[in-house]
Structure 1
C-alpha cells in the first residue's frame, strides 16, 4: 500500500525511505531560491538537508520563488505535500530514497510585491537561482543583452519587474531603503563563471532604470562563482510510478538522480552562509578550473553522444553508451580535442575524471534520455562545444571531431532522424534552427552564420571546411557510416 507524501505521513514512510530527522517546524528561512526544478531539489536542497541533519544551519531554510508557468505548477505540487521531496539516488549497485525537507514555503508565482517583500526580509541572506543556461539573456560571447524584450520591459517598469534579475534588483533597492545589508546572489546554473554572468544580468537590468544604483550593486553585492554537478533527468510518469511501486510513496513530482554529486563554490558570502563544507561542498578561491573541466568534459561529452544517438533513434543515455560507434566517438573527441585543452585542475587527474564521467553516462538506472541532452542546443553549444573548438584552433589543432559534432547538431535540428522519424521541437529556437538546417544542405554557411553560436567561425576554414564535409556525408550516408569514417572504420 502506498502513502501520499506529507508531513503527517513521514512516520509511515520512514520504513522504506530516509526522512528528515530534524524538526522542520523549527526551521527559519535564510535562502530565497528562484527556479525550484529537479536539479535544485537534487543538488542544493540535498546538501542543505544533509547539513540540517547535523543540527546546523537551521536558519537557512529555503523559500521558493519563480516567474515561469512551470513554476506555478511546481508550487501547486509541492504545496500539496508540505514542500517535501522524494529524492531517489540510483547507482549501478543500489537504489535508495530519501525525503528532503529544507524548503518551507514557495511564494505565489506572479505575485511581484510578495516576492520583492520577501527579498527585502533581513533574514534572507542568500538569493540563489537555477534558471537554466538560456535564462541569463547572454549572447555567444557571454555578454548580457539589455535589448531583450523582457529585460527592456523591466527597464521601463522597474517597480513591477517580471524577470528574475529585475526582481533581484528591486529587492536589493528595497533593502537599501530600509537600511538592510544586501544578500549574496548565488547562481547554481551550469554556465562558465555563473556568478559573473549573473552579476552582469542584474547590473545590466538595473542600469536601464537607475545607473547609479546599478553601479552600487556592481561594487557592493557578492556574486560568487560556482560549479555544480549531478545528472538529474526530467521526471515523467515512469519515475512517479517507480517511486510509488518501489518505495510506497505517492509523490506528485519525485526527483531521480545519480548517486554522485559535486559543488565547488567561491567563498564570498558577506552576509553569512550555511556551513556546507561539513557536508562535502568545496570552498575555493577560484572555481574557474573546476567549472572548465566539468563544462568541457561532462557537458561537452553529453553533446557529443546526444546528437548521433538522437539521429539513430536511441532513447536512453546508457543505451547510447552501449552503442559501439557512439562510445568510440565520445572517446576519440574527448581524448583528441577536449581534454588536451582543459587547463590543470588542483588535486585532480583529468584522465581519472573522464573515466568517472564515462561510468556515470553508462549508469542504466538513471533513465536519462537522449532527448534531454539534445535540448536547447542553441544555448548550450556556445558554452559546451564552441569554446573547445576555439581553444583547439588557438593551439594549432584542427577540430575535426568537434566539427562533426556541430554537423550532427545541425542534422538533428533538421527535424528527422535517419530512420525518417519526426523529431519534435527541442529548442526555444527550433523553427529557426530547422529552417537553417534545411538551408545548410546546399549552403553549410547558412548554419555557421549563427554568430550568436559560432561567432566568426564560419570564416575559419580549419573548422568550416570539415563541418561542410561532414554535413554532406551525413546527408548522403547517414550517421552510422559517417561515424565509421571519422573513426577510421569506414
Structure 2
C-alpha cells in the first residue's frame, strides 16, 4: 500500500522513511531561495532539515522563488504535497529515504511584485541561489557581461525585472528605502568564487540604471563564497517508480542523491544565519582552495568523461567507470594534468580526495547519466576544464589530455556516436557548436573561434596543435583507439 506524500500522511510515510521531527507550524521563513531544483533540495534543504530536527533555528525556513517555466512546474508539484520532498540517499551498500520539510511556501512564478515584496520583508535575512552555472551572465574569463539581452532589458526596466539579479536589486532597494538592513546574498552554485561572481552580477546590473544604489550594495551587502558538493541526478519516471515500489511513497518529484555531501562557506552574514556548523557545514576564512579543488577535480572529472562515454554509447556514469578506457583516461588526466595545478588545500590530501571522487563516480545506485554530464558544455567547459588548460599553458606545460577533452567535446557535437547513433543535445549554444564542429573536420580552428568559451586558451599555438591532432585521431581511428593512444603516451606523436 502506498501513501501520497503530504503533511496529512507523514505518519504513514514514517513506516519506511525518516520524517521531520518538527511541526510545520513551528517554522517561519528566513531564507528566500531562487531555483528550487534537485540539487537545492538534496543539499541546502537537507542541512536545514537536519538543523530543524535538532530543535534549533526554526525561524530560518525557506520560501522558494523562480522565474522560469521549470520553476512553475516545480511549484505545482511541490505545492500539491505541502512542499515536502522525499530524498533518497544511495550509497553503494545502503539506500535510505527521508522526508524533508524546511520549505514553507513557493511564491507565484514570474510574479516580480510578489518576490520583491517578500525580499523586502525584514524576516528574510538570506537570499540564496541555485540557478546553474549558466545563470550568472559571465564570459569565458569569468567577467560579468552587461551586454547580455536579459541584463540590458532589466537595466531599462529596473522596477519590473525578469532576472534573478534584477529581483535581488529591487528587493535591496526596497529595504534601503525603508531603512531595513540588507539580506545576505548566498550563491550555492558550482562557480569559482561564486560569491564574488554574484556580487559582480548584482552590482554590475545595478550600476547600469542606478549608480548610487550600486555603490550602496557594494558597501553594505555581503556575498559569501561557498563550495557545495553532492551528486544529484535528474528525476525521472524510474526514480518515481522506485520510491513508490520500495518505500511505498508517492512523491511528485523526489530527489535521489549520493550519501556524501559537503558545504564549505565563508562566515559573512551581517544579519545572522542558521547554526549550520552544528550539522556539518564548514565555515572557513577562505573557501577558494576547497572550491578550486572540487571544481577542477570533481566537476572537471565529470566534464572529462562525459564525451568519451557518450561517443562510446555509455548511458550511466557508473557504467563509464566500469569501462577501463574511460576510468583510466580519467585517472591519467587528473593525475598528470589537473591535480598538479590544484593548489594545496588545508587539512586535505588531494590524492585521497581523487580516490573518493572515483568511488563516488562508480556508485551504481545513483543512476547519474552521461547525458546529464554532457549537457550545457558551453557553460561547463569554460568553468571546469579550460581553467586547468590555461594554468598549464601559463606554466609552459603540455596539455595533451586536456586538449583531448576539448577535441572529444568537438567530436560529440558532430551529432552521432562512434556507432552512428544520434546524439540529442541540451545546450543553449548547440546550433553554433554543431556548425563549428562540422567545419572543424577540415579546419580545427573553427571550433575554437568562440572567445566567450575558449578565451585566451585558443590563442595558444600548443593547444591548437594538440587539439587538432587529437580531433584528427578521433575521426580517423575512433574514440576507443584514441583513448588507447593517450593512455600509452602516444597521442602527442
Shorter-chain TM-score category? Answer: over 0.9
How is 1:243-258 mapped onto 2 (pairs within 5 angstroms)?
Answer: 243-258=243-258
Q: How many angstroms does 1:177 deviate by? A: 1.1
Aligned to 1:149: 149
Q: How many angstroms does 1:429 deviate by? A: 0.8
Aligned to 2:488: 488
Q: Is 1:268 aligned to 2:281, yes or no?
A: no
Distance 2:459 2:396 in 1: 16
Aligned to 1:86: 86
Distance 1:330 1:175 in 2: 49
Distance 2:221 2:306 in 1: 38
Aligned residues of 2:233 and 2:366 also touching (Cα < 8 A): yes
Residues 259-281 of structure 1, C-alpha deviations (whole Å, 9 max, x = no match): 00000000000000000000000
Distance 1:458 1:425 in 2: 23
| C-alpha distance 344-474 of structure 1, shift in aligned 2 (>3 A) | same
Q: Is 1:403 aligned to 2:398, yes or no?
A: no
What is the SS of the residue equivalent to 2:88?
Answer: strand
Aligned to 2:464: 464
What is the SS of the residue equivalent to 1:87?
Answer: strand
Distance 2:460 2:180 in 1: 52
State the number of aligned residues: 490
Q: Is 1:210 aligned to 2:205, yes or no?
A: no
Aligned to 2:436: 436
What is the SS of the residue equivalent to 2:427?
Answer: coil
Distance 1:110 1:354 in 2: 41
Q: Is 1:451 aligned to 2:441, yes or no?
A: no
Distance 1:111 1:248 in 2: 36
What is the SS of the residue equivalent to 2:46?
Answer: helix
How is 1:191-340 mapped onto 2 (pairs within 5 angstroms)?
Answer: 191-340=191-340
Residues 165-193 of structure 1, C-alpha deviations (whole Å, 9 max, x = no match): 00000000001111100000000000000
What is the SS of the residue equivalent to 1:468?
Answer: helix
Q: How many angstroms does 1:85 deviate by? A: 0.1
Distance 1:190 1:415 in 2: 27
Aligned to 1:382: 382
For structure 2, which runs of at least 5 residues remain unmatched after alignment?
Answer: none
Distance 1:241 1:396 in 2: 52
Q: Is 1:69 aligned to 2:78, yes or no?
A: no
Distance 1:275 1:245 in 2: 36
Residues 32-84 of structure 1, C-alpha deviations (whole Å, 9 max, x = no match): 00000000000000000000011111000000000110000000000000000
How is 1:13-52 mapped onto 2 (pairs within 5 angstroms)?
Answer: 13-52=13-52
What is the SS of the residue equivalent to 1:208?
Answer: helix
What is the SS of the residue equivalent to 1:456?
Answer: helix
Mean Cα deviation higher: 288-297 or 416-425: 416-425
Residues 412-471 of structure 1, C-alpha deviations (whole Å, 9 max, x = no match): 111111111111122111111100100111111111111111112223122110100010
Aligned to 2:162: 162
Distance 1:143 1:488 in 2: 38
Aligned residues of 2:386 and 2:457 also touching (Cα < 8 A): no
Aligned residues of 2:198 and 2:223 also touching (Cα < 8 A): yes
Aligned to 1:120: 120
Mean Cα deviation higher: 387-396 or 210-219: 387-396
Distance 2:457 2:224 in 1: 31
Mean Cα deviation higher: 306-315 or 394-403: 394-403
Residues 215-258 of structure 1, C-alpha deviations (whole Å, 9 max, x = no match): 11011100000000000000000000001000000000000000
Q: How many angstroms does 1:394 deviate by? A: 2.1
Distance 2:489 2:266 in 1: 46
Distance 1:306 1:459 in 2: 25
Distance 1:62 1:457 in 2: 41
Mean Cα deviation higher: 300-309 or 97-106: 300-309
TM-score (norm 2): 0.99
What is the SS of the residue equivalent to 1:418?
Answer: coil
Residues 191-222 of structure 1, C-alpha deviations (whole Å, 9 max, x = no match): 00000000111111111110110111011100
Distance 1:439 1:152 in 2: 32
What is the SS of the residue equivalent to 2:343?
Answer: coil
Distance 1:153 1:450 in 2: 24
What is the SS of the residue equivalent to 1:303?
Answer: helix
| CA RMSD after TM alignment | 0.8
Distance 2:201 2:342 in 1: 27
Q: How many angstroms does 1:489 deviate by? A: 8.2
How is 1:89-104 mapped onto 2 (pairs within 5 angstroms)?
Answer: 89-104=89-104
Aligned to 1:178: 178
Distance 1:191 1:458 in 2: 22
Distance 2:106 2:59 in 1: 16
Q: How many angstroms does 1:164 deviate by? A: 0.2
Distance 1:361 1:201 in 2: 33
Distance 1:489 1:278 in 2: 48
| C-alpha distance 200-489 of structure 1, shift in aligned 2 (>3 A) | closer
